[in-house]
Structure 1
Amino acid sequence: MAVKPAAPGWTTPADVRTASLRVWNSGELLRALILPSDLHPRRRPLKRPTATALRTDYARAAAWAEMWNPAPRGCQLEYVSVGANTIGANTLPGAAVFASAADEIAFLGLGREAARFAELAQQVAGLDVRLDAWSLRRPLELLRHGNDALTAARVAIWLAANPAPGMYLRQLSLPGVHTKFVETHRRLIDDMVATLEPGRPLAGKNYARRHGFLAAPDRVRLRFLDAAQAPVPGMTDLEVTGAAFASLAVDVDRIITTENLANFLALPPAPRTLAVFGGGYGFEGLREAAWLRETEVLYWGDLDTHGFHILDQLRSHHPHVRSILMDEETLLAHRDFWGREDTPTRAALSHLTPAESTVYADLQAGSHQPSLRLEQELLRWDYVLARLP
């Protein structure tokens, strides 16, 4: 005959393990290995069978007690007497006690990981003792990155000592460090730099500039949809720096900005019209172009939350920007092409029109479909041509 499982609510070793795993995942147990705290000994009371349960379902209660025999590794059990005044005294586990963080780690079977963390923390502190604080704050991150954390620490120490390198990021020459490593571990490196230099500002989208490196200038790609306005006959498609674009003052009546290269290239000829391409959030070059204030500016972006976020940013510099093909009609007319936006933004946008705000709110709320995205290049071209201003 099979033994009945423990009654719902009676604490099992698996329940205690779940509670200890939460502590491990908070980093607390690893921190305690380096900096002992007053959290140990830790006592976890066990919900156990009552005298009534012993009387009515002794087999189930006995099976529960057997789960705790022997006591799990790293764990000491406190026992209590139950049922002395009714069915006779029965000794049952009443609490699981972990004398130290090391014992609780042993209970979880994570001793090897803890030893690796202690080794890494010692090596990080050996590079710069100030990074000991980072190891205590991010113990699981240190364990996850392993040797890469040591490399990142060397980069962070160099960046802290050289706040204005005056060279390009690709010229950084440190043993075992290449540009791709820095780009892949930017957040990790910045977190360490912030520990080494608490007051150092680390804002800005451009990582190289943020750390005082020279950076390639922002670039803007242009297409003269009116060939007669090309600076040189036949030169209708060209790229200039953002600074050059700001000083161009092109004599056009209208500018169409789009973040999709295929659509940028496919825009049809139009009198006194200039097309501007900027991938994703890449419209920085337009911000300083004061001459745009005297020109009609149209923005054509994806129908997703980030498309409206880009529009909002562009309009914060040029309030007269008008969106095209970013309305509910266009969205509903292309149901067959609806996709999914992986990481929708929840940003509060203050530069949208009421109609745009409604579409943005619907996308955030998933009113039509959760995480809905309609990429602009998927719009039917006959539909686009019929609605281009």
Structure 2
Amino acid sequence: MPSGATDPMPCRFSTTRRQVASTTARWRHNSRRRTVLSPTDVRTWARQRLARQRRAWVDGEGTWPLIRGLEPPRAVDIRGGLGAVTAWTSAWAAERELVGVRVMRETRLMKGIGSQTMPVRVEFESPRAVAEFAGEAQAWDRVARRRALLLERWPQLAAGVGLGRLYDWMDQAGDLDVDRLVAVADWVLANPRSGLYLRQLPVAGVDTKWIEGGQRRAIAMLVALLQGDENATGETEKEFLRLCGLLAPVARIRERPGAPP
């Protein structure tokens, strides 16, 4: 290359990007707002669906397989933007195969174009497959493992649903927190009307600071399920104390300095 000459590659690359952007724009225009879903689109959809239904799914609800159509391009889309269609099919072809996730393809005869084989829908065989595709498999497995631990300890919980309400807690809690939750629930079931104050709970490692640090609602909901009260939420301190058979704290009255006795 002569001295001072520039590499023409950046120019060609820039032109290619403009061409792809142009064909994509024409494709979208000709599609009349038709939404052709890319892997990124379906992954976003899977995250949203999991966020809405994870509690019910972990309790065994849901109908499977779960199907998400991809709204594949039509003949008019291909004629109006071949580059964008090619990029779309290539993106799906590059997707890593996951257990329980199937990208279904069909061959369709299109007027003026001929037979075209392309992805048409994604089928998820289980909630775990949705979580895997959404990038949330680690959280799902952790929750499922801890739910199984609670069911092993209290098999009667398997007869109904409700542990899914503890999904976020089971995901975020540490192993020691889970052990303490089980210990507190065991003690409350054995002493349903103890008449003790919260600070007097005789459970190793459990104190007011730990309970009020994010564990109160989880304890209340688990105890409620074990007592057969599926409507209790443990949202308030009053309900928590009622479910656990504990006394409400005595209100302290502060005296003003210099006030008469």
Alignment TM-score, normalising by the size of structure 1? 0.50
Partner of residue 106 from structure 2, selected from 80, 92, 100: 80
Question: Quick one: distance in 2 between partners of 1:78 and 1:54?
Answer: 20
> Amino acid of the residue matched to residue 67 of structure 1?
A
Query: Structure 1's 38 and 69: CA in aligned 2 closer, same or farther, altered over 3 A?
Result: same
* Counterpart-to-counterpart distance in 1, 2:219 and 2:186: 9
Does the CA contact (< 8 Å) of 1:167 and 1:214 recur in 2?
yes
Structure 1 residues 136, 213: closer, same or farther in 2, change over 3 A?
Answer: closer
Aligned to 1:97: 123
How big is the shift at 1:186? 1.4
Q: What is the Cα deviation at residue 124 of structure 1?
A: 1.6
Q: Does 2:168 align with 1:140?
A: yes
What letter is aligned with 2:207? H
CA distance in 2, matches of 1:144, 1:26: 17
**Cα gap change, 1:130 to 1:27, in 2 (>3 Å):** farther
2:65·2:125 contact (CA, 8 Å) conserved in 1? yes
Deviation at 1:95, TM superposition (A): 0.9
1:58–1:162 Cα change, 3 Å: same
Give the whole-Å Cα distance in 2 for the aligned partners of 1:68 and 1:209.
54
- The Cα shift of 1:31 comes to 5.6
**Which of 167, 191, 202 does residue 173 from structure 1 map onto?**
202
Deviation at 1:112? 2.6
Q: Matched residues in 1 for 2:62 and 2:162: separation?
A: 21
Does the CA-based 8 Å contact 1:27-1:139 persist in structure 2? Answer: no
Question: Does the CA-based 8 Å contact 1:221-1:237 persist in structure 2?
Answer: no
**C-alpha deviation, 1:134, in angstroms:** 3.8
Q: Pick one of 105, 111, 118 that aligns with 2:144.
A: 118
Indicate conservation of the 8 Å contact 1:51/1:83, yes or no.
Answer: no
Q: CA deviation at 1:54?
A: 1.0
Residues 206 and 32 of structure 1: CA distance in aligned 2, closer, same or farther (over 3 Å): closer
Unmatched runs of 5 consecutive residues or more in structure 2: 1-15, 29-34
* Contact preservation (8 Å) 1:44, 1:95: yes
**Offset, 1:209:** 5.4
Residue 262 of structure 1 is matched in structure 2 by: none
Superposition map of 1:6-17 within 5 A: 8=28, 9-17=35-43
Between the aligned partners of 2:251 and 2:57, the Cα distance in structure 1 is: 47
Number of equivalenced pairs? 226
SS at match of 1:96: strand
Deviations 1:256-311 (A, max 9, x none): xxxxxxxxxxxxxxxxxxxxxxxxxxxxxxxxxxxxxxxxxxxxxxxxxxxxxxxx
Aligned equivalents of 2:227, 2:116: Cα separation in 1: 61
- C-alpha separation between the residues in 2 aligned to 1:33 and 1:217? 40
* Partner Cα separation in structure 1 for residue 58 and residue 196 of structure 2: 41
Query: Displacement of 1:41 after TM fit?
Result: 1.6
Distance in 2 (CA, whole Å) between partners of 1:152 and 1:182 is 9
Cα gap change, 1:27 to 1:216, in 2 (>3 Å): same
Identical columns (%): 26
The verdict on how the C-alpha distance between 1:220 and 1:125 changes in structure 2, with shifts beyond 3 A counting, is same
2:188 matched to which residue of 1? Answer: 159
Work out which of the two has the higher radius of gyration on C-alpha atoms and give 1 or 2.
1
From 37, 60, 66, the counterpart of 1:42 = 66
Q: In 2, Cα distance between the equivalents of 1:34 and 1:199?
A: 17
8 Å contact 2:107–2:116 — kept in the other structure?
Answer: yes
The CA distance in 2 between the partners of 1:195 and 1:43, in whole Å, is 33
2:7 aligned residue: none
Closer/same/farther in 2, CA of residues 85 and 153 from structure 1, 3 Å limit:
same
- Measure how far apart 1:86 and its partner are: 1.6
Higher helix share: 2
Q: Which residue of 1 aligns with 2:251?
A: 218
Secondary structure of 2:50's match?
helix
Could you tell me how far 1:159 is from its partner in structure 2? 1.8
TM-score scaled by length of structure 2: 0.72
Partner of 1:244: none
1:77 and 1:97 in contact (8 A); partners too: yes
